[in-house]
């Protein structure tokens, strides 16, 4: 079934057993993002040194698993590393399935390669990443320019 | 004569296609309906043979186009029991029709602080936001009916909600989420008793039920072409002529004027007053063809077919484990739109897995977030039926839901 590319075991695992879920204090920046077409929501909190990332949300397996993967990848990194990973993930999502992801950089995030082939779901996968970017900016951290998303 | 769904389906070429290697099972007609060849042919023939602008050309093509455009208006008027074609205003869609009413009736009634507009929690955003905007502009207050646990309008506080302060009552006739068909007779009687206008959003009812505006109890109704076998880009506002005649224009421009000078303008009579600019001519003619098609089958027959499908769907879905239906659980007083949740699985994921099996449903908040909030969920999955829907398609939906539970179990 075509869906094998979308619902990878890794994604379903992160959805059923999310890592780092739940809002925690203290934090320096917070952002709440919604997907207006489906009502999915995510709240992301970030400390200015990226040592603490926390989140909570409501939504589909793709958006919620993506938040869990983000937490795993970015928690405890420095700004340069976080920017690189952020950029790589956004680029992967915009690649329409044409980009070969680098597991060294994206870890479990490579499971989202298949999502890029489903334009209606790219926004779901990106929701936590865009919320993270805004929360980081509010914490005074610039994770760089990521190409705007038109899904 | 019994309704022959197999013969009806032959008129809809798209129903022959496959999606992801499976026969298309189209269960999203509340979103937009499919179009029969009879509509597509009329629209193509118009563009190929008769195309000219309407209401302004002396030449033959312009005259033929005008006749076809006005002919469509007359068909639609007859379809809903309007007293005259002049009561039928063409708009872009229901949303535009409702915005037109909010602007023009709001201005006509000189709404201000102390005045009230009453809607319900069951509305599509298109029957919420225009009224919120009107209240912001005028200082009027928005109030609303709630929804009962069974998914019906809660009329228990009718007399407290609709009072002499009420100027407009605007309600959905059939819910696009719950499928509920609202019997608005009590509400309309109360509204008229206090002198308020009654507006009905009939986007989901005119396509599926026999509608007669003479007995409906409304002063104005809105509906849209693309949900009733017609094209997108064409909608209808029906209003009692004596009311339309009093309303000021909404959009200004060509076609809606009587005479224009540099210092002022007088306006045409309805419906032209509300149709500024070149209208969607081919689309209006296409909607006329759709009405011919529906009339040919008979709206009572269409409704009976959908009742059977809805009964079958409610029975089938209530037998699927982990499925919770939102809205009335029996087919009485409801239409062929069934929203549901699958425990532990987000509607987006339900919709994605169904799509992989060729089953097209809508997921999300259905432009009616307050309805989802009322039932405590961020989103729902919705299957909606029409005259071409079969029980086999309902079975395909149920099989798809089994697959959903396998993937997420």
pLDDT digits (tens, 9 = 90+) for B341-364: 999 999 999 999 999 999 999 998
**Residue A145 forms part of a structural domain:** no
Nearest beta carbon to residue B346 from set A2, A12, A59: A59
Q: Does the ipTM exceed 0.90?
A: no
Interface of B with A (CB under 8 A): 20-21, 345-349, 352-353, 356, 363-365, 369, 372, 378-379, 407-408
* A10-25 tens-digit pLDDT: 999 999 999 999 999 9
How close B346 comes to chain A (CA, Å)? 5
Give the residue from B96, B74, B87, B101 showing the smallest Cα distance to B287: B74
Closest CA to B378 of A111, A112, A60: A60
Q: What is the pLDDT of residue A151?
A: 40
Contact state of B363 with A38 under an 8 Å Cβ cutoff: yes
Q: Which residues pair with B200 in a beta bridge?
A: B171, B221
Q: Does the distance separating the beta carbons of A39 and B379 come in below 8 Å?
A: yes
Interface of A with B (CB under 8 A): 1-3, 6-7, 12, 37-41, 58-62, 64, 118, 121, 124
**Prediction pTM value:** 0.92
Distance CA A32, CA A9 (A): 28
Is A35 within a domain? yes
Rounded Cα distance between B229 and B244, Å, is: 27
A115: domain range? 2-138
* A41-49: average pLDDT: 95
**Conformation bin of residue B116: beta by default, left when phi > 0, alpha when psi is -120 to 50:** beta
Strand partners, A56: A43
Cα–Cα dist B83/B98, whole Å: 21
Give pLDDT, residue A2.
59
Instruction: Assign 3-class secondary structure to A57-91.
Output: EECCHHHHHHHHHHHHHHCCCCHHHHHHHHHHHHH
Total structural domains in chain A?
1
Which residue of chain B has the CA closest to A13?
B408
Does residue A144 sit within a domain?
A: no
In 3D space, the residue among B226, B229, B182, B178 whose CA is nearest the CA of residue B201 turns out to be B182
Predicted local distance difference test score (pLDDT) of residue A1: 46
pLDDT at B1 exceeding the cut of 80: no
Considering the domain boundaries, does residue A110 fall inside one? Answer: yes
pLDDT at A46 over 90: yes
Q: Cβ A61–B349 below 8 Å, yes or no?
A: yes
Cα separation of B3 and B27, whole Å?
19
**Sheet with B166-172: strands ordered across:** B88-91, B235-239, B220-224, B197-201, B166-172, B116-120, B141-147, B153-154
Ramachandran quadrant class, B55 (left: phi over 0; alpha: psi -120 to 50; beta: rest): left
Q: What are the CA-CA distances from residue B344 to residues A19, B106, B316, B321, B365 (Å)?
A: 18, 45, 20, 12, 17
Q: Is residue A101 part of a domain?
A: yes
Using pLDDT thresholds of 50, 70 and 90, give the confidence band for residue B57.
Answer: confident
- What tens digit of pLDDT does each residue of B305-326 get? 999 999 999 999 999 999 999 9
What is the average per-residue pLDDT within A86-99?
Answer: 90
Phi, psi of B61 (to 5 degrees): -65, -40
Are β-strands B116-120 and B141-147 bridged in parallel, bridged antiparallel, or unpaired?
parallel
Average pLDDT estimate for B107-114: 98
Task: Please name the residue of chain B whose CA is at the shortest distance from the CA of residue A119.
Answer: B352
In a domain, A79, yes or no: yes
β partners of residue B16: none
Instruction: State yes or no: pLDDT of A91 exceeds 60.
Output: yes
Contact B298, B209 (CB under 8 A): no
- Percent above pLDDT 90 for chain A: 70
Task: Report yes or no on A18 lying in a domain.
Answer: yes
- State residue A148's pLDDT score: 53
pLDDT tens for B118-172 read 999 999 999 999 999 999 999 999 999 999 999 999 999 999 999 999 999 999 9
Per-residue pLDDT, B92? 98
Give dist(CA A67, CA A44) in Å, integer: 9
How many pairs of residues across A and B have Cβ atoms under 8 Å apart? 53
**Domains in chain B: ranges and CATH:** 5-30+298-408 (3.90.1150.10), 40-295 (3.40.640.10)
CATH code of residue A100: 3.90.1010.10
Q: Which residue do the tokens 């849209």 mark?
A: B224
pLDDT in tens, B262-286: 999 999 999 999 999 999 999 999 9
Active site residue B367: yes
Judging contacts by C-beta atoms under 8 Å, the chain B residues touching residue A12 are 407-408
- For B339-351, the three-class secondary structure string (H helix, E strand, C coil) is EEEECCECHHHHH
In this complex, the residue of B349, B369, B408 whose CB is nearest that of residue A39 is B369
Q: Is the pLDDT of residue A150 over 70?
A: no
Render chain A in DSSP notation, one character per residue: -GGGGTS-HHHHHHHHS-SSBB--S--SEEEEEE-TTT--EEEEEE-TTSS-EEEEEE--HHHHHHHHHHHHHHTT--HHHHHHHHHHHHHHHTTTT-----HHHHGGGGGGGGGGG-HHHHHHHHHHHHHHHHHHHHTT------PPP--
Take residue B299 and report the two structure tokens written for it.
């709206």
| Of B242, B200, B245, residue with least CA distance to B80 | B200
A71 assigned to some structural domain: yes
């Amino acid at each position: 079934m075509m869906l094998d590319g979308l619902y990878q075991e890794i994604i379903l695992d992160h959805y059923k057993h999310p890592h780092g879920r739940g809002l925690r204090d203290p934090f320096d920046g917070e952002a709440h993002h919604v997907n207006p077409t489906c009502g999915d929501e995510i709240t992301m909190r970030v400390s200015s040194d990226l040592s603490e990332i926390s989140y909570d949300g409501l939504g589909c397996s793709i958006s919620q698993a993506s938040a869990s993967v983000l937490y795993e990848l970015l928690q405890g990194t420095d700004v340069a590393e976080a920017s690189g990973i952020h950029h790589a993930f956004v680029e992967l999502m915009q690649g329409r399935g044409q980009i070969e992801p680098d597991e060294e950089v994206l870890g479990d995030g490579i499971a989202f390669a298949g999502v890029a082939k489903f334009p209606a779901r790219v926004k779901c996968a990106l929701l936590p990443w865009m919320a993270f970017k805004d929360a980081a900016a509010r914490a005074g951290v610039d994770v760089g320019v990521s190409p705007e998303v038109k899904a | 004569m019994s309704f022959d769904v197999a013969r009806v389906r032959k008129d809809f070429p798209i129903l022959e296609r496959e999606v992801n290697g499976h026969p298309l099972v189209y269960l999203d007609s509340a979103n937009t309906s499919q179009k029969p060849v009879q509509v597509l042919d009329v629209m193509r023939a118009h563009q190929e043979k008769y195309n000219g602008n309407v209401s302004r050309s002396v030449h033959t093509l312009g005259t033929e186009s005008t006749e076809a455009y006005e002919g469509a208006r007359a068909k639609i008027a007859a379809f809903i029991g309007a007293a005259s074609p002049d009561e039928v205003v063409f708009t872009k869609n229901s949303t535009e029709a409702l915005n037109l009413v909010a602007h023009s009736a709001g201005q006509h009634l000189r709404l201000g602080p102390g005045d009230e507009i009453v809607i319900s929690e069951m509305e599509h955003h298109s029957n919420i936001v225009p009224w919120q905007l009107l209240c912001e502009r005028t200082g009027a207050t928005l109030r609303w009916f709630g929804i009962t646990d069974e998914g019906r309008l809660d009329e228990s506080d009718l007399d407290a909600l609709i009072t002499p302060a009420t100027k407009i009552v605007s309600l959905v006739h059939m819910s696009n989420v719950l499928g509920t068909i609202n019997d608005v007779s009590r509400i309309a009687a109360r509204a008229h008793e206090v002198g308020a206008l009654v507006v009905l959003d009939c986007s989901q009812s005119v396509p599926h039920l026999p509608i007669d505006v003479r007995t409906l109890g409304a002063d104005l109704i809105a509906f849209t072409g693309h949900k009733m076998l017609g094209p997108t880009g064409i909608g209808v506002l029906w209003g009692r002529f004596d009311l339309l005649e009093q309303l000021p224009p909404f959009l200004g421009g060509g076609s809606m004027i009587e005479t224009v000078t540099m210092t002022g303008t007088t306006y045409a009579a309805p419906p032209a007053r509300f149709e500024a600019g070149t209208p969607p001519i081919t689309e209006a003619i296409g909607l006329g063809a759709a009405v011919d098609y529906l009339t040919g089958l008979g709206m009572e027959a269409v409704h009976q077919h959908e009742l059977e499908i809805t009964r079958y769907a409610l029975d089938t879905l209530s037998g699927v484990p982990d499925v919770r239906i939102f809205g009335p659980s029996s087919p009485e007083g409801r239409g062929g739109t069934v929203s549901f949740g699958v425990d532990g699985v987000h509607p987006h994921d339900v919709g994605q897995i169904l799509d992989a099996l060729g089953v097209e449903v809508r997921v999300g908040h259905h432009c009616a977030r307050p309805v989802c909030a009322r039932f405590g969920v961020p989103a729902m999955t919705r299957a909606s039926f029409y005259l071409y829907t079969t029980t086999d398609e309902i079975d395909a939906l149920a099989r798809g839901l089994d697959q959903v539970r396998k993937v997420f179990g």
